[in-house]
Every structure is written in structure tokens, then in C-alpha cells.
Amino acid sequence: MKLLIAALAFAFFIVCPRMAGMTSVIANATDVDLVKLAVVGTIIAIPFVVGMVLIYTRYGLLAALGFAVLTDLLSALVIKEISLKAGIETLIVALFVIIGVRVATYVSKYVNF
């Protein structure tokens, strides 16, 4: 039962607007059904998610973030083969994620609880 509750919490956590937005960009660029793309992409992503978790536990947050950025860049390279515009959009989103992590770390230093 603990695993089911923890897995549900994890499932809620990994759903994010960025993922929905990039799914839409990729679906539009490839003319693929959005729901089919989300389902098949999620299945393909499972080993990457496990890999990121293992990297995090062994090497820490920066290494996991580096892996995440690498996968974002790989996504941009893959999608560029279909649409240069979608590849550029994917790359820009990846850059904003990197900047967002840096800004969040900086700002959180000044928050006292």
C-alpha cells in the first residue's frame, strides 16, 4: 500500500505544464495524435526517468540536472529532423529550465522560514 501511495504522489509530481506544452509542440510538428504520443512517449521515457533517479542518488542534483538537460538537447536534435522550428522551441524550453533552476537556487537562499 505504501508503494501505491508513493507512486501516486510521484505520478502527480511528474505531470507538469512544460511536459504538456512540449508534447503539443512535438505532436503539431510531427502530425502525430497527441494522446498516442503521450502514451508511447511515456513508455519510452521510463528507463530515462529511472536513469535520472539513479544518477541523482549516486552523483547528486547537478549530475541529474545535467542528464535532464542532455535529454532536452537530444529531444531538440531529434525533433529538428522533422521541424527546425520545433527543435528550436525545444532548445529554448531547455534553456529556460536551466535558467529557472539557477534562479530558484539563488532566490531560495534569501527565504527564511
- Whether the pTM exceeds 0.75: the reply is no
Within a domain: 112: no
pLDDT score for 39? 93
Q: What is the mean pLDDT of residues 35-50?
A: 94
Q: What is the mean pLDDT of residues 67-73?
A: 81
Within a domain: 7: no
Within a domain: 67: yes
Within a domain: 80: yes
Does residue 40 carry a pLDDT above 90? Answer: yes
DSSP category for residue 15: -
Please count the structural domains in the chain.
1
What is the domain extent for residue 62? 17-107
The answer to whether the beta carbons of residues 30 and 82 sit under 8 Å apart is yes
Within a domain: 4: no
Within a domain: 6: no
Please give the Cα distance from 103 to 85 (Å, whole number): 27
Does residue 57 carry a pLDDT above 90? Answer: yes
pLDDT grade, residue 97 (50/70/90)?
confident
